[in-house]
C-alpha cells in the first residue's frame, strides 16, 4: 500500500468508505509487490500529477530539478536494470504524498547527485538556492572521506544526517522516503547486502519514523526489514495470520455490526474501521511473551473516528456498556500524549465469543497525526481551515523537542559512535509518564530512573542531585519509575555525577551529560595534579613556574614553545599529560629550565639549595605530592593495600593512568618498584583531609543467628560505615570469615573499629587485611 493511498485515508470521505479490515494481506508487503505499486511515481508525468498543490512557479522549479537530476544520472542504472532516475522520481512522489514544499521535492529528486555523480554543493546553490542545496547536502553520505572502519564511516554519516535533520526536519522526511523506496526494491541486491540494509533499517530508520510519529512508514519499514532478515519466519507467520483472518472473519463482522448499531442508537456519527496487527508486531509479541501464535489473542482491533475530542470519551462509555472491559487495559493517550504526539483512547473489551478486542477512539485530526506524525504539519497546510491544526502543531512541537535534544547531545559528544549510541537509546518512545512536585508531566523511556528525571528537568539538577523521593518516599537512584509517580529531586551545591550512574540511566541526554562531565572532571583533576608536580620539579631546579596569565606575552610564548616541544597543543594539555603520567615532570622541568635560561632567567641559589635538600632519597626526583582525598580520578588508591591516613605512603606515576598510591610496605608496590623505580615519587597525607577512606578488615566469627547484626552494630558504634561485605565459609560450619570494606577517617579511627569488633561476643579474631 503506498503512502499516497494512506494519506487519502486521513480524509473524512475516505474514512467513511472504509469497511471491514483495511490492511493489505501480508503478501503485499514483499519488496517485489511494493515495487509494482500502481500509484508509485515511476515517470516525471506520474510525479507531476501529484504536484497539484504547488504553485505554477514551484512546479516549474521542480521540473528544472528533474531535468538536472536526469542529466546527472544519465547512463546510470539501478541493480534491477532500471534507469537510476526512476528512484529519485519515486522518492519525490512519496514526499509529494506528504504535501511537502517544492524545496523538499527538489531535494528528493537530486538527493543522490552529490554522493553518486560528483555534483558540488556550490553548483546546487547557484542553480536552486541555498535551502535546497542544504537539504541535498544533509542527505549525502560521507563515503568519500577516509575512515578507519566501515562502522566509523556509517556512524559519522548518521551523525551528519541526524544533525542536519535537527536543523531542518524535511531532511529526515526525504531520507525516510528514500529508505522506504529502497526497501521496496532490494530484491536485486546480494543477500548479505540486503540483510545489512534491512538490519540498519530496523535499528535506525524505523525507530526514527516512530519517534516522529510517521506510524504508517514505521510499520511498513518494519515489515519489509523483517521479511528480508527472517524470510522463513515471516512466511510462516503471514500464512498463519491469513488462516486466522479467515477463521475470525465472522467474529470481526459481528463485532463491527454490533458496534455500529450501538452508536446508531446513541445517534453518534462515527467511522468504524477494522485493523490488523502486522506480522512483525505479532512476532515481537510472541518473542516478548515467549508464546506461540495461538496465544496472541489480539490480532484484530477496531478504530473509532469521531468528530470531537469529547466524543472520544462518550464513545468509550458506549463501548463499555456494550462489552465488558478487560481490567488494566485502558490507556488515555489524549490527556497524556505519547512522546511523538500520538493521541487516542485505548481500551480492550471482551467480545461475545470471549476473545479480547482492542478499540481505539480518536478524532480525524488525531488520526492524521497518528498516521503521518510530523508530516501532518504539511498535510494540514494544504487542507486549509477545515481541520483543527492543534494536534499537528503538538506533534510538530514534540518532535522539535526531540530534534533539539540531538543538538544538545552533539554539544556533549564529539565521538560519532558514542553519539549514535546515545541517539539509539532515545529512539524508542515507549514511555512512562511521571510528575514533578508541581504537577508538570514528563515522558521518559520505560526503565528510566530518578537520574534520568533529574537531567530531563535541567542538566544542573542532574549534576547536583544527591537523592530522590518517589511519591514522598526516599528511593535508591537506580529505582525504575512507573507511570503516575511523583518524583522529587534533592540537590546539594557540592554534589557531582557518579560514574556508576552510567549503568543505570536510560536517556541519551542523561548519558551524554554524565560522560561529558566526567571527561571534563578527569581532565581538570589531571591538569591540577600535573601543575602541582611540575611546580615541585621546578623548585628542584631553583626556578618558579612561568606565569599562567594569558596577557603575559613572554610567559605565554614560553608555554607555547614548551607545549610544541612536548607534542601538545597548549599548556593545559601538557599539564594533563604530566598528571596522567604520560610525561615525566622532571624531564619537562629541565627542558623548561633550559628555555628559561636561554631567556636569561637563572636559578635562585637559595631556592636551588632548598629544592635539592628536599629531594632526598625517599622523595625521588619528582618532589613531594600531598593528597587529601579530593583529587578524584587523577589520584587512585591501590586496592591491594588500600592506604588510609596515618599509613606511610608512596606513589607510582603510571603511563596514562595518573598517580597510584600504595603503602610503603605494600608487597605489590615493592615488586613494581624493582621493575620501574624511575616512576616512583614521594607522597604524603595533607594536614586537612576531605573525606573518609576505605580499607579491608577480616573478621572470624562463630556462626550463629544474628552474627551479621552484631558485627554491623559494632562497626556502627565506632562511627564507621560498611561499604561492602563478603564471606568465606570454607573453614567449616562452625566458623565464618567475613571480609568487610569499612570507611574510616584514619588509622586511629580504624583502631577504634577493631576494638569495637573484638568486644562483640561472636568475634573470634579481627585484623586489617594486608596484601601478601
What b/e sequence results for 663-690 when a residue is b if at least 16 CB atoms lie within 10 Å of its CB, and e otherwise?
beebebbeebbeeeeebbbbbebeeebe
To 5 degrees, how large is the angle CA 627–CA 632–CA 638?
70
The cell numbers describing 249, all together, are 472473519
Q: Would you say 474 and 468 are in contact if contact means Cβ atoms under 8 Å apart?
A: yes
Contact 25, 235 (CB under 8 A): no
Residue 757, C-alpha cell as written in the block: 569488633
Question: How far is 7 from 376, CA to CA, in rounded Å?
Answer: 10
412 in active site: no
Compute how many other C-beta atoms are within 10 angstroms of the C-beta atom of residue 305: 26
Question: Three-state SS string across 534-600, please?
Answer: HHHHHHHCCCCCCCCCCCCHHHHHHHHHHHHHCCCCCHHHHHHHHHCCCCCHHHHHHHHHHHHHHCC
H runs (alpha helix) in 323-389:
364-372, 376-383
User: If you ran DSSP here, which 8-state letter would residue 354 be given?
Assistant: S
Give yes or no: 115 in active site.
yes
With 0-12 / 13-18 / 19 or more C-beta atoms within 10 angstroms meaning exposed / middle / buried, residue 753 is buried
Q: The dihedral of CA 132, 134, 135, 140: what is its sign?
A: positive
In the set 39, 70, 115, 253, the catalytic residue is 115
The x, y and z cell numbers of residue 758, run together, are 573484638
Catalytically annotated residue among 58, 70, 101, 116: 116
CA 406, CA 411: separation in Å to the nearest integer?
A: 9
Measuring CA to CA, how many Å separate 45 from each of 384, 519, 677?
26, 56, 81
CA 728-731-733 angle, to 5 degrees, is 90
Q: Which residues contact 366 (CB under 8 A, 6 or more apart)?
A: 334, 343, 344, 391
In angstroms, rounded to a whole number, what is the distance separating the alpha carbons of residues 392 and 3?
18
Cell of 78: 539501478
Q: Burial level of 190, CB count in 10 A (0-12/13-18/19+)?
A: exposed
Catalytic residues: 115-116
Amino acid at each position: 500500500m503506498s503512502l499516497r493511498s494512506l494519506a487519502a485515508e486521513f480524509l473524512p470521505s475516505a474514512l467513511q468508505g472504509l469497511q471491514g479490515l483495511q490492511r493489505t494481506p501480508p503478501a503485499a508487503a514483499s519488496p517485489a509487490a511494493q515495487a509494482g505499486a500502481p500509484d508509485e511515481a515511476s515517470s516525471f508525468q506520474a510525479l507531476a500529477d501529484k504536484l497539484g498543490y504547488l504553485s505554477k512557479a514551484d512546479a516549474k522549479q521542480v521540473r528544472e530539478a528533474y531535468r538536472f537530476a536526469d542529466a546527472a544520472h544519465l547512463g546510470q542504472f539501478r541493480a534491477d536494470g532500471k534507469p537510476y532516475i526512476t528512484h529519485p522520481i519515486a522518492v519525490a512522489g512519496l514526499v509529494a504524498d506528504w504535501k511537502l514544499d517544492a524545496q523538499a521535492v527538489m531535494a528528493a529528486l537530486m538527493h543522490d547527485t552529490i554522493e553518486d555523480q560528483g555534483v558540488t554543493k556550490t553548483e546546487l546553490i547557484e542553480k536552486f538556492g541555498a535551502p535546497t542545496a542544504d537539504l541535498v547536502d544533509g542527505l549525502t553520505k560521507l563515503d568519500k572521506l577516509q575512515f578507519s572502519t566501515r562502522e566509523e564511516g556509517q556512524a559519522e554519516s548518521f551523525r551528519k544526517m541526524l544533525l542536519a535533520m535537527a536543523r531542518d526536519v524535511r531532511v529526515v522526511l526525504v531520507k525516510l522516503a528514500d529508505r522506504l523506496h529502497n526497501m521496496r526494491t532490494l530484491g536485486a541486491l546480494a543477500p548479505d547486502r540486503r540483510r545489512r540494509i534491512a538490519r540498519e533499517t530496523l535499528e535506525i530508520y524505523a525507530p526514527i519514523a516512530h519517534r516522529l510519529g510517521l506510524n504508517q512508514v514505521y510499520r511498513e519499514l518494519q515489515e519489509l526489514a523483517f521479511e528480508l532478515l527472517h524470510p522463513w519466519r515471516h512466511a510462516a507467520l503471514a500464512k498463519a495470520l491469513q488462516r486466522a483472518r479467515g477463521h475470525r472473519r465472522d467474529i470481526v463482522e459481528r463485532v463491527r455490526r454490533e458496534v455500529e448499531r450501538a452508536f446508531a442508537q446513541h445517534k453518534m456519527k462515527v467511522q468504524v474501521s477494522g485493523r490488523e496487527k502486522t506480522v512483525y508486531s505479532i512476532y515481537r509479541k510472541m518473542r516478548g511473551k515467549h508464546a506461540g501464535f495461538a496465544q496472541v489473542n489480539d490480532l484484530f482491533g477496531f478504530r473509532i473516528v469521531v468528530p470531537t475530542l469529547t466524543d472520544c470519551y462518550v464513545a468509550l462509555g458506549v463501548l463499555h456498556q456494550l462489552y465488558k472491559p478487560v481490567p488494566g487495559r485502558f490507556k488515555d493517550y489524549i490527556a497524556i500524549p505519547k512522546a511523538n504526539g500520538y493521541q487516542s483512547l485505548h481500551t480492550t473489551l471482551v467480545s461475545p465469543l470471549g476473545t479480547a478486542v482492542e478499540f481505539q477512539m480518536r478524532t480525524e485530526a488525531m488520526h492524521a497525526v497518528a498516521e503521518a506524525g510530523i508530516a501532518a504539519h504539511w498535510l494540514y497546510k494544504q487542507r486549509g481551515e477545515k481541520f483543527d491544526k492543534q494536534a499537528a502543531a503538538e506533534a510538530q512541537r514534540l518532535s522539535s523537542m526531540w530534534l533539539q535534544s540531538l543538538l544538545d547531545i552533539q554539544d556533549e559528544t564529539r565521538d560519532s559512535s558514542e553519539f549514535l549510541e546515545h541517539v539509539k537509546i532515545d529512539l524508542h518512545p515507549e514511555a512512562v509518564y511521571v510528575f514533578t512536585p508541581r504537577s508538570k508531566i514528563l515522558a521518559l523511556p520505560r526503565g528510566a530512573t530518578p537520574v534520568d528525571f533529574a537531567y530531563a528537568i535541567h542538566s544542573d539538577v542532574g549534576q547536583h542531585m544527591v537523592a530522590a523521593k518517589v511519591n514522598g518516599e526516599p528511593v535508591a537512584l537506580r529505582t525504575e519509575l512507573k507511570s503516575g509517580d511523583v518524583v522529587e529531586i534533592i540537590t546539594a551545591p557540592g554534589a557531582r555525577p557518579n560514574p556508576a550512574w552510567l549503568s543505570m540511566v536510560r536517556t541519551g541526554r542523561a548519558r551524554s551529560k554524565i560522560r561529558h562531565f566526567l571527561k571534563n572532571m578527569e581532565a581538570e583533576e589531571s591538569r591540577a595534579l600535573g601543575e602541582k608536580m611540575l611546580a615541585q620539579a621546578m623548585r628542584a631546579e631553583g626556578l618558579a613556574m612561568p606565569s599562567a596569565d594569558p596577557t603575559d606575552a613572554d610567559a605565554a610564548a614560553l608555554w607555547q614553545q614548551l607545549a610544541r616541544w612536548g607534542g601538545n597543543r597548549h599548556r593545559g594539555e601538557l599539564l594533563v599529560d604530566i598528571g596522567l603520567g604520560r610525561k615525566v615532570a622532571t624531564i619537562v622541568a629541565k627542558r623548561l629550565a633550559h628555555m628559561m635560561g636561554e631567556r636569561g632567567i637563572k636559578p635562585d641559589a637559595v631556592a636551588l639549595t632548598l629544592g635539592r635538600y628536599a629531594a632526598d632519597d625517599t622523595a625521588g626526583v619528582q618532589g613531594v605530592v600531598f593528597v587529601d582525598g579530593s583529587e578524584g580520578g587523577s589520584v587512585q588508591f591501590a586496592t591491594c593495600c588500600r592506604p588510609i591516613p596515618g599509613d606511610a605512603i608512596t606513589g607510582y606515576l603510571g603511563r596514562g593512568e595518573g598517580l597510584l598510591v600504595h603503602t610503603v610496605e605494600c608487597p605489590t608496590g615493592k615488586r613494581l618498584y624493582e621493575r620501574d623505580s624511575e616512576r616512583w615519587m614521594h607522597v604524603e597525607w595533607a594536614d586537612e583531609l576531605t573525606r573518609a577512606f576505605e580499607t579491608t578488615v577480616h573478621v572470624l566469627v562463630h556462626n550463629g543467628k544474628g552474627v551479621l547484626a552484631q558485627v554491623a552494630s559494632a562497626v556502627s558504634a565506632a562511627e564507621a560505615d560498611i561499604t561492602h561485605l563478603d564471606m568465606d565459609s570454607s573453614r567449616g560450619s562452625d566458623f565464618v570469615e567475613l571480609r568487610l570494606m569499612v570507611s574510616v577517617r584514619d588509622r586511629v579511627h580504624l583502631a577504634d573499629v577493631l576494638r569495637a569488633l573484638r568486644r562483640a561476643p561472636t568475634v573470634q579474631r579481627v585484623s586489617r587485611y594486608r596484601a601478601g
